[in-house]
Chain A
């Protein structure tokens, strides 16, 4: 069974600064997807960024980028130029690619990020 661990329950950052959220996972699979989702106070889950395990290049999406270390099973999220609207709970998620478990996903417990003015 896959597990996803987010070791930072809460973090804060000053507006315009950079923050990194940590995520580690455990799996015996070789091909899979990794995601970071954002859940603002409205509770609507929104995709922030995704990474395919077979791609070595780290994904980037505007101010958001990841540091994907497959051997270490680490998938951290870096938010640059933090904005007040980035305040939310952030979830790291793993999705199986393997046929019998295809589509099955596992989420971490989340990191609550507060951006301070």
Chain B
């Protein structure tokens, strides 16, 4: 089945530690995205990538880093510089040809203790 996977579903980390969230897709999509969702709020764009080895900052990139070494993968690292990292993180991908519908993964709930 084609789709997007995110792992793990729940992640706990101590304050000051970097943590990497996984996102993999087998939809052959060029574009991939990372969003942060806080309780009762909408999605805020962290980073997005239109093509391998290229990515752009979104609206809240501070304290986060990404890489795009493979078309299928777009991992997000939450660094210790992110002041309030506890949140729900969603990964998505879309066809770059039409920049149409985004397909979303199931999300990762990160809790920093």
Contacts and interface: CB of A to CB of B under 8 A. Distances in A.
Chain A interface size, as a band, is 20 to 34
Interface stretch (A64-72, A75-83, A96-104): A96-104
Nearest to A108: B42
A6 B58 CA distance: 21
A44 B99 contact: no
Interface in B64-108: 88, 90, 92, 94, 96, 99-102, 104, 106-107
B25 interface: no
Of A4, A35, A97, A102, most buried by chain B (CB within 10 Å of CB) is: A102
Contacts of A107: 35, 42-45
A102 to B, nearest CB: 6
Contact of A97 (B33, B58, B99, B106): B99
Contacts of A104: 45, 48, 56, 58
B32 to A, nearest CB: 10
Interface of A: 1, 4, 6, 33, 35, 43-47, 50, 91, 93, 95-97, 102-110
* Nearest 4 Cβ contacts at the A-B interface: A45-B104, A107-B43, A107-B42, A109-B42
